[in-house]
Chains A and B, each alone.
Chain A
């Protein structure tokens, strides 16, 4: 691990200013992804600003009947919150489908959104990777791509966003709240939070240097039945090959987002509208224009089958 200096911020403004002032500085909350990457020197911050004391560790009701989840609420506490289990089951289900108990106890809500791809070529510093080293090329293209993206990818990068929690948040139309070094606040719909790679795969999200996530808000509950179906190589503690987050209403309408397939949780609202017509109609629309590799083309039929399983359960 490269050397770095460390400070524990007292308030959000000071934290944002400290990171904005140094392009090699980073916030640290749970640290479960950042420290992992620092050990292999994929991440090499020279200064860490610890945000654990900023008080963003509460889940509060909003005036319009939703929830405001503090950026530092741990994955475990978010999944276990009674209001979340009752009204946003898809979110609890997605969180507990990811990582391990130990990691969920430490990982934060904001950190989960900011976790980086698990593309093996991103992790291997001997390999070309435009995300890790802009302009160096992409060894994943033409390489071992079974786990990688099938849609929304580019000629520069075919990595996926690896998380589960954000896929449920996409179905719920969550909003990411931030503050920057000047005190300016932003509300970013989760649909726009993660970038498609294009020719800048090094930039995962729309956040600026020093822009700090303070909370994620959920609109009022949708009702309906909530599902998170995750297909992976092991029964537990593995990244998704494909995952399906869905909220299905009694009349068969609903919303669906897919994980493990794209640079961001993948939801196409026009495909949601096809839910009453069945899984194949939905995935045909949601994955229109997909560019799978030979190794990961199986993800397309897998997504259809995973959704079909969810829809069958919704009817049961």
Chain B
């Protein structure tokens, strides 16, 4: 399987990252500042976090993003790589209860964190209400942005509940509500090039209504 061999290749690449640069970490403090450049990939670093309730332990090149750790190392490929620059939202996951772009975060910075991906929200047999609503309202076409859309949508309703303000809010001292305008503004970090936006908003409205 091409997919499997690619994954194995990238894991091997990380594991063979040499220890040759370990000595470079210790730099004399009193010395005049000089650029210190690792000549080869830095040694792999251990990181432990919980993903979808399960403890995971990895040894990673420090450059590995949380997104790549999830996809390439833990094989949780539900979370997607779109732009890899925080512009499209396909990589959205929840860390300690809030949504972030997993592509713009280093895996080693998440020691001890609790991460929830699309795989942790629901399963094909037991869909999360937001997943079920996306199916019901046809909130996707090609589906590539969908895991990010759903993670973001779940987090958005929670942000509204917690009173996190938004750009479209009138009075900042009044609690926001899950109106169409509010949800559209808060979902602006998730791009859908098929243009399923109106159906996504309907799916969210259904879940928001059921909760109210």
A residues with CB within 8 A of B: 1, 3-8, 17-18, 20-25, 28, 31-32, 35-36, 39, 46-48, 50, 52, 76, 79-80, 85-86, 89, 92-93, 96-97, 99-103, 105-106, 181, 209-210, 234-237
Contacts and interface: CB of A to CB of B under 8 A. Distances in A.
B99 A36 contact: no
B165 A5 contact: no
Contact of B98 (A6, A28, A76): A76
Interface string B152-165: 10011001001111
Contact of A25 (B36, B111, B173): B36
A3 B41 contact: yes
Interface string B22-60: 001101110101111110111001000000000000000
A46 B38 contact: yes
Given A46-B35, A100-B189, A181-B29, A106 B165 contact: no
A89 B34 contact: no
Interface string B165-191: 111010011000000000011111110
Given A22-B34, A105-B99, A31 B62 contact: no
Given A21-B31, A102-B99, A4 B189 contact: no
Contacts of B129: none
Consensus secondary structure, chain B interface: loop
8 contacts: A3-B40, A21-B31, A24-B36, A39-B85, A46-B38, A101-B99, A101-B186, A105-B100
B167 A22 contact: no
Contacts of B61: 3
A21 B138 CA distance: 55
B78 interface: no
Contacts of A17: 29
Contacts of A236: 167, 184-185, 188
